[in-house]
Amino acid sequence: MKTGMLQIKIKKAFPQFYLDVDFSVHPGITGILGPSGSGKSLTLQCIAGLENPDAGSIRVNGRVVYDAGKKINIKTRFRKTGYLFQHYALFPHLTVKQNIAYGLKGMPKKEREERVRRFLEKIQLQGYGNRYPNEMSGGQQQRVALARTLIPEPACLLLDEPFSALDDETKQFLMQQFATFIHENFRGAVLFVTHSLEEAVKLCDHLVLYKDGKVLQTGPKNEVLYHPETKEAARIAGCSNILEISRAENRICMAGGAAIAVDGKKAGPYRFLGIHAHHVKFTNQAQENVFSYRVTDCRQTFDGYHVTAETPYFTVCASVPPDQIQAVLAVEKKLYLPKEHLLRLK
């Protein structure tokens, strides 16, 4: 098993689903990214002790909290895992101060009150201590829940889609604050579950890609997003253009009848070529991987246009800046697939 702050190697079977994962989480924010139903939240529940795996082991900072073979299964309250639930799970009958202090039972009253006061300052909610959760906004509730999770000084932090309960405007405002707060107030491993590529890009340092209860790929965020290894990983990483390779010779791949040049940096048998929409270009220059096209669809986005272009061999999606859209729609250029941005996928 690999070393790290948090080590997970577990199996869990259900009648219609099987979780089988093995990965490590290091300091910083690691995102589990994948579609709904792929086992992301189940993994957090197993780490926290809310679910028991059928086999495998879990280590937190080198301490075994679960080992099926050795019959070790530390109770949830003794695992020192901080769990932020999807909908925060604040106690509605307790005030903000009481919610934050909930994990400090047994601590002397004066010390407990001082620690709560400091955390209210950290989350910028001084003066809100006597309010109840239903008197606060979604963003404020999130900060209270995060403070309650961090105040007992957990060994690792488990975040289960913490932005899913927020509207988009509030989410955009809070995401950077959220990441900054965690980096400034927590030095351990953070495991962040999301099905949103945007959240993963903005918040995470490392990524674990999930699908159907399996880990597809792990690594530093940019490595995983821009160098996926398989077609499934590329899809999760936001690659909308994937072409099946019918034949490959030297640095030329045949896809849909087109001869497409690739760079020689990556060896091995591959079945697909991929390219992100923002890497598809349009050019007047005669060079490799240039194709005639026609536009079959064009939709405006927040920062440009999403164009579907059909060549005689394949169809791709392209992200086009506003200052280039007229030339692209008028078909004044050729569609260009830069070989340095082509992904060779298994």
In tens, the pLDDT along 237-288 reads: 999 999 999 988 878 899 989 999 998 766 567 899 999 999 999 999 878 9
In tens, the pLDDT along 16-26 reads: 999 999 999 98
Tokens 């072409």, residue located:
243
In tens, the pLDDT along 310-332 reads: 999 999 999 999 999 999 999 98
In tens, the pLDDT along 34-79 reads: 999 999 999 999 999 999 999 999 999 989 999 999 999 999 989 9
Count of alpha carbons within 13 Å of 165, Cβ hemisphere only?
15
Residue 173 C-alpha from the chain's centroid: 18
Q: What is the DSSP letter of 98?
A: H
Tokens 């919610």, residue located:
99
Note whether 172 and 138 are within 8 A (CB): no
Q: Alpha-carbon distance 68 to 45, whole Å? A: 16
Q: Alpha-carbon distance 312 to 317, whole Å? A: 15
**Amino acid identity of 201?**
V
Residue 165 clears pLDDT 90, i.e. is over it: no
User: Which uninterrupted H or E stretch holds 301?
Assistant: strand 294-301
On average, the pLDDT of the chain sits at 90
The predicted pLDDT at position 255 comes to: 92
Residue 334 clears pLDDT 70, i.e. is over it: yes
Please give the structure tokens belonging to residue 327.
């030339």
Average of per-residue pLDDT across 204-212: 96
Q: Bridge-partner residues for 157, per DSSP?
A: 82, 190
Q: Residue 23 contacts by C-beta under 8 Å, 6 or more apart in sequence?
A: 2, 8, 208, 215, 218
Average of per-residue pLDDT across 141-168: 86
At 241, is the secondary structure helix, strand, or coil? strand
Query: Using 50, 70 and 90 to split pLDDT, how confident is the model at 173?
Result: confident
Q: Alpha-carbon distance 243 to 22, whole Å? A: 30
Position with higher pLDDT, 86 vs 260: 260
**Amino acid identity of 345?**
L
Note whether 278 and 197 are within 8 A (CB): no
The dihedral sign for the CA sequence 281, 286, 287, 289: positive
Q: What pTM was computed for the model? A: 0.86
The predicted pLDDT at position 1 comes to: 42
The predicted pLDDT at position 2 comes to: 46
Query: Using 50, 70 and 90 to split pLDDT, how confident is the model at 167?
Result: confident
Give Cα separations from 306 to 190, 322, 333 (angstroms): 34, 10, 17
**Amino acid identity of 295?**
V
Q: What is the dihedral of CA 207, 211, 212, 213, to 10 degrees?
A: -10
Of 146-155, 169-178, 275-284, least confident by mean pLDDT is 169-178
Q: Which domains does the chain have, with CATH numbers?
A: 6-232 (3.40.50.300), 240-345 (no CATH)
